[in-house]
Amino acid sequence: MDNNRLQLSKDLISNLSTEKNESCEWLAKIRKTSEKRFLNHGIPLAFDEEWRLSSPDHFNKVSLCSSGENHEKAPSPFEKLKKISIVFLDGVFSKDSSDNLRANGIEVTMLDEVVTDSYHWSKDIFGKIEKNSQIISKRPLAILNTAFAQSGVLIEVTDNIEVPIELKYVCTKNNSGCLIRNVVRVCSGNKITLIEHFEGNGWSNICTELWAEKKAIVEHFRFKYLSRDSCSNTFLFVCLQEKSELRSSALSLGAGHSRNETHISLDGEESQCSISGASYLGEGKTLDDDTVSVHHLKPNCKSRQVFKKVQRASSVGVFQGKIRVEREAQKTDGYQTSRAILLDQTGKFLAKPELEIFADDVSCSHGSVSGAIDEETLFYLQSRGIDETLAKNILILAFLSEVFEEISDSNIKDLILSFTEKHLKL
Amino acid sequence: MLKINDLKVKIDDGAEILKGLSLEISKGEIHAIMGPNGSGKSTTSNVLAGKPGYEVTNGSIQFLGEDFNQLTPDERVVQGLFLAFQYPVEIQGVTNTNFLRTSINSVLKARGEGKMSPGEFLTKLKTKANELGISSDMLKRSVNFGFSGGEKKRNEILQMAMLEPKLAILDETDSGLDIDALKVVSSGVNSLRSTERSFLVITHYQRLLNYILPDFVHIMVQGKIVKSGAADLALYVEKNGYSEFLS
Ligand SMILES: Nc1ncnc2c1ncn2[C@@H]1O[C@H](COP(=O)(O)OP(=O)(O)OP(=O)(O)O)[C@@H](O)[C@H]1O
Ligand SMILES: [Mg+2]
């Protein structure tokens, strides 16, 4: 590695510490080795293959100042949803803002509570799925998270849990930030609905590793409602065992620089995943990046990716979607589509679909389209008395709602739809 | 009600399509326009509805005394214009019912009138849909999405019936309709006839005019009206074709 990158990487971690969990030997060890792994990889730079389409600068600027101040609450689509909320304020678990975490079917531990060297189930998962994902695409900022996460939650799902679990990350100030690491294990045959909710400001790097055992079902929803100055890097690493299923969907209605990296290992026969995302960020030079990789390791698995973005003036939308099918993964069914509406000629959408197929009996398809709002359709709406602004918003909602159709939890789907309607003043 | 005077219209890439069109429609009248393919009938209706992409180089369009050319498409609807499209657009992801509700409430709001209550809206919608043989399933589906040609045309008439315009332009609404649908659509139109409401019916077939009896028939050739007459002019061109009108 060149010296420049190494120096930058050292600078980046000079203010960070792996010592958070010294009292837990296995965790301390993982963190130490991850620090080395991070320095081996080095921070991402603009000429790296994974960063050709979006600049890593903002994501590299770690800022972990915590203010914990009161902040103005943003509207939430989940206000009326019955759920268990786990709230982090500037990276610190806030017991006051969170619900009672004792519920049938789940065991919840805070990352900094995993003390002593006694056995904890997360030992076999922590950092492991992240590390495996690096085979497909390099993600040094996820290694950074493994090594230096300040806080997070470990959730073991031992029975079906009907109420959704909401992980809410609030950054209160411009210069506040957080590095959060969650690990979720869904035991055989169980189901969980997990919501990740991003609100406020600041810099964040938040990583969730999810281990789904045989026949487990995971519903995941990510909602971003961040300010224009925010920088938000998320990672979702999932390992799916036999006949398990992941349905992950997302809506971003606000962020300055946003990159969502998702990696799925289909590591058991007949497992399946659908990953989708809709986004419509604010005015200005925003970046909205979805980088997805799906790794088919076993036969008879299905994967599906549906991404839709609306770009305003001078904003950039990025979709990188990789499907890798190993030789053993016969009868793979892979589907990928990404589409964007450019509301203005200065908005951009950059897509990089990649298929790496080593098996011969597979069906994989991908497609990517972007363009302005269809003039004929817009005129049709106007010719029914609907003014141009309203007509455009109706078409934006219609465009994004194809992603909402991917949400299988009908409560969440309805809430997201009506929140978006309100957001668009419909 | 509508006064088009010596209208010349170019499309944005240069060709002149309307070459001095004049037409006057008074309250309560039904006018029919017939003419060969490509003579500018749809262009006329698009220009009246305010579709972008056309440039008016001469003449004027007045609707109820107001200069129509300055208004956006939606403002024209607020003034009382309605265009039933020759090729209605499919809008995936917007349900027919929501579309109609938004349309009506937008128009009422722009007119400074209160919204229609949800109950009143649904009752009216059901009644009109019933009259036009439009199933409740079609109301729940995306606008025109996957509709058959005839269903789309019926849906246009439903929108017209809901909006109750002062002047309705029907651009080949009869094309693609089977004989029963033609009767249903015609009676939908006839039930809206009044001394206050006018129609401009564009068609290729005299048959439609048996059901919707026009006061005037105009023959349009190469961007202008070359002959006007009473209802029997339609019978005449049906028999003799347009050759004698082509220069
Ligand atoms: N946007 C456009 N670009 C190029 N040519 C156009 C455009 N719009 C209309 N034209 C041309 O203008 C002429 C008139 O078209 P228009 O659709 O008005 O005809 P019409 O009388 O409605 O014909 P039809 O009976 O086939 O519906 C045609 O030659 C058509 O090709
Ligand atoms: Mg036509």
A369 close to B (CB below 8 A): no
Q: Do B163 and A379 make contact, defined as CB atoms within 8 angstroms? A: no
Enclosing domain of residue A265: 3-373
Domain total for chain A?
A: 1
| Chain A contact set for B53 (CB, 8 A) | 375
Residue A1: what pLDDT? 63
Instruction: Strands of A241-345 (E only): list them.
Output: 245-254, 257-266, 272-280, 287-296, 302-311, 316-325, 332-342
Residue nearest to ligand 1 atom 25, measured at CA:
B37
**SS3 state at B131:** helix
Q: Select the CATH number that applies to the domain covering B2-89+164-245 from these four: 3.90.226.30, 3.40.50.300, 3.10.20.30, 3.40.50.2300.
A: 3.40.50.300
Residue A69: what pLDDT? 66
Q: Do B73 and A395 make contact, defined as CB atoms within 8 angstroms? A: no
**pLDDT exceeds 80 at position A295:** yes
Note whether residue A245 is domain-resident.
yes
Domain ranges of chain B: 2-89+164-245
Q: Range with the lowest mean pLDDT among A59-73, A116-130, B37-51? A: A59-73
Q: What are the residues facing A85 on neighbouring strands?
A: A166
pLDDT, one tens digit per residue, over B211-240 is 999 999 999 999 999 999 999 999 999 999
Mutual angle of helices B118-131 and B149-163, in 10-degree steps: 130
B91 CB within 6 A, ligand 1: no
Amino acid sitting at position A54:
S
Phi, psi dihedrals of residue B200, rounded to the nearest 5°: -120, 115
Q: Is the dihedral of CA B149, B155, B157, B163 positive or negative?
A: negative
- Percent pLDDT > 70 in chain B is 100
The C-alpha R_g of chain B, in whole angstroms, comes to 18
Phi, psi dihedrals of residue A346, rounded to the nearest 5°: -90, -10
pLDDT, one tens digit per residue, over A360-409 is 999 999 999 999 999 999 999 999 999 999 999 999 999 999 999 999 99
| Chain B contact set for A401 (CB, 8 A) | 93
Residue nearest to ligand 1 atom 19, measured at CA:
B38
Q: Do A382 and B78 make contact, defined as CB atoms within 8 angstroms? A: no
Structure tokens belonging to residue A159:
């029975």
CA distance A182 to A165: 13
- pLDDT-derived band at B13 (thresholds 50, 70, 90) equals confident
Please report which residue ranges of B132-178 form alpha helices under DSSP H. 136-140, 149-163
Total residue length of chain B: 247
Note whether residue A194 is domain-resident.
yes
Distance set, CA A332 to CA A113, A364, B164 (Å): 41, 8, 55
Distance of CA B144 to the CA centre of its chain: 17
**pLDDT exceeds 80 at position A174:** no
Q: Do A386 and B102 make contact, defined as CB atoms within 8 angstroms? A: yes
| Strand order across the beta sheet in which A217-226 lies | A92-93, A84-89, A165-171, A191-200, A217-226, A245-254, A272-280, A302-311, A332-342, A362-371
Mutual angle of helices A388-404 and A410-423, in 10-degree steps: 160
> Residue A14 in contact with residue A38, Cβ under 8 Å?
no
Nearest to A385 among B78, B88, B142 (CB): B78
**Ligand 1 atom nearest to CA at B204:** 25
> Residue A86 in contact with residue A168, Cβ under 8 Å?
yes
CA nearest to A403 within chain B: B93
**Ligand 1 atom nearest to CA at B53:** 1
| Chain A contact set for B92 (CB, 8 A) | 398, 402
Q: Tally A–B CB contacts below 8 A.
A: 75
Residue ranges of B 166-225 with Cβ closer than 8 A to chain A: none
Smallest CA–CA separation between A385 and chain B, in Å?
Answer: 4
- pLDDT-derived band at A67 (thresholds 50, 70, 90) equals low
> Residue A110 in contact with residue A24, Cβ under 8 Å?
no
As to burial, measured by CB atoms within 10 angstroms (0-12 exposed, 13-18 middle, 19+ buried), residue B121 is middle
B73 close to A (CB below 8 A): yes
> Residue B105 in contact with residue A389, Cβ under 8 Å?
no
Note whether residue A393 is domain-resident.
no
Identify the residue among A369, A381, A404, A425 best suited for mutation to test binding to B, counting B beta carbons within 10 A and taking the highest. Answer: A381
**pLDDT exceeds 80 at position A17:** no
pLDDT, one tens digit per residue, over A241-286 is 999 999 999 999 999 999 999 999 999 999 999 999 999 998 889 9
As to burial, measured by CB atoms within 10 angstroms (0-12 exposed, 13-18 middle, 19+ buried), residue A134 is middle
pLDDT, one tens digit per residue, over A399-419 is 999 999 999 999 999 999 999
Q: Is the dihedral of CA B91, B96, B100, B106 positive or negative?
A: negative
Q: Which listed ligand is nearest to B205 at the C-alpha?
A: 1
End-to-end CA distance of chain A: 53
| Chain B contact set for A398 (CB, 8 A) | 91-94, 142
Q: Do B77 and A384 make contact, defined as CB atoms within 8 angstroms? A: yes
Alpha carbon of B38 to ligand 2 centroid (Å):
7
| Chain B contact set for A391 (CB, 8 A) | 74
**Ligand 1 atom nearest to CA at B40:** 18
Note whether residue A320 is domain-resident.
yes
Residue A173: what pLDDT? 82
Amino acid sitting at position A188:
S
B96 CB within 6 A, ligand 1: no
Question: ipTM score here?
Answer: 0.97
| Chain B contact set for A394 (CB, 8 A) | 94, 99, 102
Q: What is the rounded average pLDDT of the residues A96-107?
A: 93
Q: Do B163 and A385 make contact, defined as CB atoms within 8 angstroms? A: yes
> Residue B166 in contact with residue B196, Cβ under 8 Å?
yes
CA distance A134 to A355: 17
**pLDDT exceeds 70 at position A19:** no
Q: What is the rounded average pLDDT of the residues A201-227?
A: 97
Mutual angle of helices A388-404 and A375-382, in 10-degree steps: 120
CA angle A160, A107, A297 (to 5 degrees): 65
CA distance B188 to B194: 13
